[in-house]
Structure 1
Amino acid sequence: MVRLVLVLGDQLSRDIAALKAADKARDVVVMAEVMGEGISVPHHPQKIALILTAMRKFAAALAADGWRVAYSRLDDPDNSQTLSGEVLRRATETGVSSVLATRPGEWRVIADLEALPLAVTILPDDRFLCPEAEFAAWAEGRKSLRMEFFYREMRRKTGLLMDGDKPAGGQWNFDHDNRKPAKADLLRPRPLRFAPDAVTEEVLALVEARFAHFGKARPFHWATDRAGALAALDDFVTNRLPRFGDEQDAMLTGEPFLSHAVISPYLNIGLLGPMEVCRTVEAAWQAGRVPINAAEGFIRQIIGWREFVRGIWALQGPEYAARNVLGHYRALPGLYWGKPTGMSCMAAAIGQTRDLAYAHHIQRLMVTGNFALLAGVDPAQVHEWYLSVYIDAFEWVEAPNTVGMSQFADGGVVGSKPYVSSGAYIDRMSDHCGGCQYRVKDKVGERACPFNLLYWDFLMRHRARFEGNPRMAQMYRTWDKMDQGHRARVLHEASRFLRRLDAGEAV
């Protein structure tokens, strides 16, 4: 029996479940570029360009390997411009009514496939190291789900950085050696850049013509096939991994990449696999080329955090992204879409997001995410923004990171406390505050750092919820010791700032 084998734009792996189960001699691979996916949220032009270019090259590689591929280009006049429509079109053309697919990483797409009037078989996405059922079994009966304990199980399961049944180096986590501020360094290696080839240029022109979304399509320097992704991985391990641990939480003006890997887009669309990435990093440590704190810190992000949030996404279900336990409903401020701001840290993070479709995890968590949480922005709007603007953002990874870790809208499923801070943290971990129109040392007054004002305003709005949290109780004791007049002024100035934000004024 002939089947249609659906391959999505974030499933560009030869060993994806649907391809492994397919018969090259008879089945038809279906791939489709459609406006419906491109505008489901206003995706960054570079994200769309990466996915479409990588899809075209992957389809060509499959065809060269003997697969029969039915490929829909975005500008095909017969294109229905929806994923479901293209599957149905290919079913009609071929007379095939059976579809084989790998489980998508977005609930909306899963629902669309399940609603098709065809016999659709959805196979588990076994590119992940922890199957959904395994994660559910680990989570069952636990009062809280904490990544650190899950991570230790994943270390044991994979054998990564293990010395028998003990962690290599005698401990599971080397965070105390990481998270240092970074210093300007003109000799710091930059990520490998890839010049657009003819296929990429064709796609970039198409994206620029069809999508008027926030973000710049050019310059575009991303790898768009597996060979390029492997080269990017090798470049990171050779040139930046040794400093990765030390600098992973640092921020420097004009240095968007520091020592970060910048390979998450390739992992998330399937050009790289998590185990091959981790084994490459482990081998570099074993060979003495990188310190253990760098290797462990990076591997924890892949087999710990990445697998953990995917498990949370699958376990919590389609309604998770709509959670809003803190009752935050403020509209997303215009500065997230590029409106001028005097806050240097926000301007830097959002500016590079516009230009590169990229910001590293601390910029997302402790700058743009922290500000949104402190200001009481609707988490659904924050969720859509992150899903829209980052080149590596797909629902399975983005929703738990945003709704859970960043905005605490899930009430503590992902984290035990909200990730909020005053300006002091940003000052400690970056050089942004020196050139800011606000003064990070000022707690009140016309030039007081907005993070300082909003931090206390947030804590007071949610005192009943968080005062009993052991990790936050000290801050409430600190507040209570402050002069009453000072406390009143802080809250008054925070309220005034939020009114300006609501009025659309530049802040």
Structure 2
Amino acid sequence: MTRLVLVLGDQLSEGIAALRSADKGSDVVVMAEVAAETDYVAHHPKKIALIFAAMRKFAERLRSDGWNVRYSELDDTNNSGSIVGELLRRTEETGAQEVIATEPGEWRLIEALQNAPVAVRILEDDRFIASHKEFEDWARGRKALRMEYFYRDMRRKTGLLMDGDGPEGGKWNYDHENRKPAPDTINTAPMQFTPDDTVAAVLDLVEARFGKTFGDLRPFHYATEPGQAKRALAHFITHGLPKFGDYQDAMLDSERFLYHALLSAYMNIGLLDPLEVCQAAEAAYRAGDAPLNAVEGFIRQIIGWREYVRGIYFHEGPEYPRRNRLNHQRGLPPLYWGAETKMRCMRQAVAQTKEEAYAHHIQRLMVTGNFALLAGVNPAEVHEWYLSVYIDAFEWVEAPNTVGMSQFADGGVIASKPYVSSGNYIDKMSDYCSTCAYDVKTKVGDGACPFNLLYWHFLDRHRERFEGNGRMGNMYRTWDRMDADKRKAVLAQADDFLEQMSAGGRV
């Protein structure tokens, strides 16, 4: 009996569950570039190009290994335009009676497969360290689902950076050592790759089809096959990892990547195995080539945070991305799509996002995310923006980071308090403020930094919810000590700023 084996664009691993359960001699692999996946949000052209190029190369590797692969390119005349539609088309061609699929990373696609008019057997995606059951067992009965404690269990399970039953170096977390401001110079950059014929053909297709979408397609230098991704990993381990920890939160006007790895997209689509990435980092520490604070911080991002947010996404259910516990309703400002702004930190973060499909975690959390939260932007629109513009964004990882960590729209499932700050944090961790039109030292009046105004505006309008939060008490005490006239002026100026921004004015 012939079965179809569905392989999605973020499942490009030979050991994926559906392939392991299939018979190479009789089953047919189905892969498809479809409009339903390119168009449900306005994906960055680089993201579409990465996935399509990697898919085409993966299909060829499967064929070389003896698999029968039916591949639909986006511009195929018979392309139905959806995953389910392509499964039905291939069912008619082959007479297959069942589809084997590895669980998608988005509820949207899971529900589409569950409701398909063909029998689909969905297997759990076991490329992750923690299964759904393991996360549910960990979460059961806990008053708070905090990543730090989950991370410790992942360390114990994998044995990474363990010294017997305890953590290497005596501490689980070295984050306090990883908050240094940006250095004067950076002496490395992520590895880049020249497009080959397959990538070039995809770039032409994407340019023709998505040329007006937000984001620069060219130049394109991402890895599109496992060999390249492993070279990018080796390059980072040698040149980036030793200083990654110290400067992972820093931001520089002239340096977009600093010591960051840019490996998340490769892990998220299947070109790199996350555990192998962590093992390579640990090996560098054991060999004396990278310090413990850097290696621990890097590994925590993968087996801690990455695994944790996936667990949260499936634990909380399909409605999670639509949560809005703070009832923020403001529309996403045009400056997120490149409209001119006088705020240098926002201008730089958005420009970098447009050109690279990338910004590192502090730019996302404490610049673009912080501003959206302070301004009261509807988290559904913020979620859609992040899902659209970043090359590593898939809903299982993006939604918890945005809805939970960044926008506090889940009411505290992930974070114990909102991640809000005035301009002072951005000034401390970057060089943006030194050349900004606004003055980060000015709290109110002419030239006052909008982050300063909106910070107090946010705290004031949400006082009933947050003044009892033990981690926010000092903020409210500082606010209360201000002169009453100054508080009134801050709120009025913040209101004027928000009104001008919502009206489409340049802010």
Q: TM-score band, normalised by the shorter chain?
A: over 0.9
Distance in 2 of aligned mates of 1:46 and 1:482: 48
Q: Structure 2: which amino acid aligns with 1:385?
A: W
> Percent identity among equivalent residues?
66
Distance in 2 of aligned mates of 1:182 and 1:430: 6
Q: Structure 2: which amino acid aligns with 1:247?
A: Y
CA positional deviation for 1:274? 1.0
Say whether 1:191 aligns with 2:221: no
Q: Tell me the residue number matched to 1:172.
A: 172
Say whether 1:33 aligns with 2:33: yes
Matches within 5 A, 1:243-262: 243-262=243-262
Say whether 1:312 aligns with 2:312: yes
Q: Tell me the residue number matched to 1:205.
A: 204
Q: Tell me the residue number matched to 2:449.
A: 449
Give every structure 1 segment of 4 or more consecutive aligned residues whose post-TM-superposition deviation is greater than 6 Å: none
Verify the 8 A CA contact 1:103 1:110 in the aligned structure 2: yes
Root-mean-square deviation (Å): 0.6
Say whether 1:505 aligns with 2:505: yes
Say whether 1:94 aligns with 2:94: yes
Say whether 1:239 aligns with 2:239: yes
Say whether 1:394 aligns with 2:411: no
Counting matched residue pairs gives 506
Deviation readout 1:142-201 (Å, 9 max, x if unpaired): 11000001101111111000000010011101112111011231x511111101111111
Gaps of 5+ in 1: none
Q: Structure 2: which amino acid aligns with 1:111?
A: E
Q: Tell me the residue number matched to 1:363.
A: 363
Q: Structure 1: which amino acid aligns with 2:199?
A: T
Verify the 8 A CA contact 2:33 2:72 in the aligned structure 1: yes
Distance in 2 of aligned mates of 1:76 and 1:474: 61
Q: Structure 2: which amino acid aligns with 1:198?
A: D
Verify the 8 A CA contact 2:2 2:94 in the aligned structure 1: no
CA positional deviation for 1:115? 1.0
Task: Give the TM-score normalised by the residue count of structure 2.
Answer: 0.99
CA positional deviation for 1:458? 0.2
Distance in 2 of aligned mates of 1:147 and 1:106: 21
CA positional deviation for 1:9? 0.1
Provide the secondary structure at the position in 1 that maps to 2:326: coil
Distance in 2 of aligned mates of 1:443 and 1:182: 24
Q: Structure 2: which amino acid aligns with 1:179?
A: R
Deviation readout 1:85-141 (Å, 9 max, x if unpaired): 111000000011200000000111111111111111000000000001110110011
Distance in 2 of aligned mates of 1:119 and 1:192: 43
Distance in 1 of aligned mates of 2:431 and 2:23: 56
Q: Structure 2: which amino acid aligns with 1:205?
A: D
Distance in 2 of aligned mates of 1:213 and 1:91: 33
Distance in 1 of aligned mates of 2:255 and 2:3: 49
CA positional deviation for 1:285? 0.3
Verify the 8 A CA contact 2:375 2:454 in the aligned structure 1: yes
Provide the secondary structure at the position in 2 that maps to 1:5: strand
Distance in 2 of aligned mates of 1:418 and 1:111: 31
Say whether 1:13 aligns with 2:13: yes
Distance in 2 of aligned mates of 1:420 and 1:240: 29
Task: Give the TM-score normalised by the residue count of structure 1.
Answer: 0.99
Distance in 2 of aligned mates of 1:193 and 1:169: 35
Q: Structure 2: which amino acid aligns with 1:119?
A: A
Verify the 8 A CA contact 1:175 1:293 in the aligned structure 2: yes
Q: Tell me the residue number matched to 1:473.
A: 473
Verify the 8 A CA contact 1:184 1:252 in the aligned structure 2: no
Say whether 1:337 aligns with 2:337: yes
Matches within 5 A, 1:67-86: 67-86=67-86
Verify the 8 A CA contact 2:2 2:95 in the aligned structure 1: no
Distance in 2 of aligned mates of 1:403 and 1:44: 20
Q: Tell me the residue number matched to 2:263.
A: 263
CA positional deviation for 1:446? 2.3
Verify the 8 A CA contact 1:422 1:452 in the aligned structure 2: yes
Q: Tell me the residue number matched to 1:160.
A: 160
Q: Structure 2: which amino acid aligns with 1:434?
A: S
Distance in 1 of aligned mates of 2:380 and 2:202: 31
Q: Tell me the residue number matched to 1:107.
A: 107
Deviation readout 1:227-267 (Å, 9 max, x if unpaired): 01000000000101000000100000021100001000000
Gaps of 5+ in 2: none
Deviation readout 1:42-68 (Å, 9 max, x if unpaired): 000000000000000000000001000
Verify the 8 A CA contact 1:24 1:67 in the aligned structure 2: yes
Q: Tell me the residue number matched to 2:216.
A: 216
Provide the secondary structure at the position in 2 that maps to 1:155: helix
CA positional deviation for 1:6? 0.1
Distance in 2 of aligned mates of 1:243 and 1:446: 39
Q: Tell me the residue number matched to 1:373.
A: 373
